[in-house]
């Protein structure tokens, strides 16, 4: 049996982006109830069986050659996803969404939501902070500028480099640096881009135990 339960949200995100990049662009998202925590593994097995999501590479290849869809199952904590590739499939009572029509949003903390999008003519898959999370972080950083809390400002920005190095995150951080420098000038701060290095290398995370 293949592994399906991710140990970290970073590994979960990494695996999702990999699968979507390989054609699993339809998704069905669900959240397990906390009160049924002792049954989560059993729910996993039920969904894996329902969608035949534990087949080997050879069988997946045969399905693909026959024009049939393949399914994959992933979970991190209480967040579970069934991913489906293009092809014929048996209708179920679960609703699948095409990521080209609606971005996939993951909640990874109290204030952080991440959206996975498929963009561009080449179908590049990347990740961004969602609009509200980005606005909240920007507001906090600019507030530190106004109050000239430089050590806190730099430390808070540096923490953003803990986000995986996907292009969406990198673009957002670059824009935040521009906003920080602009706001700093209003308050007599001579801030430069080198004060806020943006990590662009992508760490490879361990996905499963």
Per-position DSSP letters for the chain, written without gaps between them: ----EESSHHHHHHHHHHHHHTT--EEEEEE--GGGGGGHHHHHHHHHHHTTTT--HHHHHHHHHTTB--EEEEEETTEEEEEE-SSB----SSPPEETTTS-EEEE-SSS-EEEEEEETTTTEEEEEE-HHHHHHHHHHHHHHHHTT-HHHHHHHHHHGGGS---HHHHHHHHHHHHHHHHHHHHTT----GGGS------PPPP---
For the chain, first and last CA: distance in Å? 14
CA distances from 197 to 10, 139, 155, 166 (A): 21, 19, 11, 15
Report residue 109's pLDDT band, with 50, 70 and 90 as the boundaries. confident
User: What percent of the chain lies above the pLDDT cut of 70?
Assistant: 99
For residues 106 and 19, what is the distance between their CA atoms, to the nearest angstrom?
15
Q: Average pLDDT for residues 98-120, to the nearest whole number?
A: 92
Residue 14: pLDDT above 70? Answer: yes
Among the ranges given (42-46, 91-95, 121-125, 168-172), the one the predictor scored with the smallest mean pLDDT: 121-125
Q: Average pLDDT for residues 93-112, to the nearest whole number?
A: 92
Residue 126: pLDDT above 60? Answer: yes
27-69 confidence digits (pLDDT tens): 999 999 999 999 999 999 999 999 999 989 999 999 999 999 9
Question: What pLDDT shows up at residue 111?
Answer: 78
Question: What pLDDT shows up at residue 121?
Answer: 72
Is the pTM value of this prediction over 0.85? yes
């Amino acid at each position: 049996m293949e592994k399906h339960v991710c140990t970290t949200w970073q590994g979960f995100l990494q695996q999702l982006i990999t699968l979507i990049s390989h054609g699993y662009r339809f998704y069905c998202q669900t959240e397990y109830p906390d009160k049924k925590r002792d049954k989560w593994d059993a729910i996993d097995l039920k969904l894996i069986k329902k969608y035949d999501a534990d087949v080997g590479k050879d069988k997946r290849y045969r399905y693909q050659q026959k024009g049939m869809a393949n399914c994959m199952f992933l979970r991190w904590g209480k967040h579970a996803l069934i991913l489906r590739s293009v092809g014929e499939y048996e209708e179920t009572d679960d609703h699948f969404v095409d990521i080209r029509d609606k971005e996939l949003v993951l909640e990874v903390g109290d204030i952080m939501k991440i959206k996975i999008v498929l963009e561009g003519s080449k179908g590049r898959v990347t990740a961004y902070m969602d609009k509200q999370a980005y606005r909240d972080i920007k507001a906090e950083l600019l507030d530190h500028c106004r109050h000239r809390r430089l050590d806190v400002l730099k430390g808070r920005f540096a923490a953003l480099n803990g986000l995986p190095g996907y292009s969406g995150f990198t673009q957002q951080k670059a824009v935040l640096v521009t906003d920080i420098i602009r706001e700093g000038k209003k308050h007599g701060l001579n801030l430069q881009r080198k004060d806020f290095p943006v990590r662009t290398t992508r760490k490879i995370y361990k996905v499963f135990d």
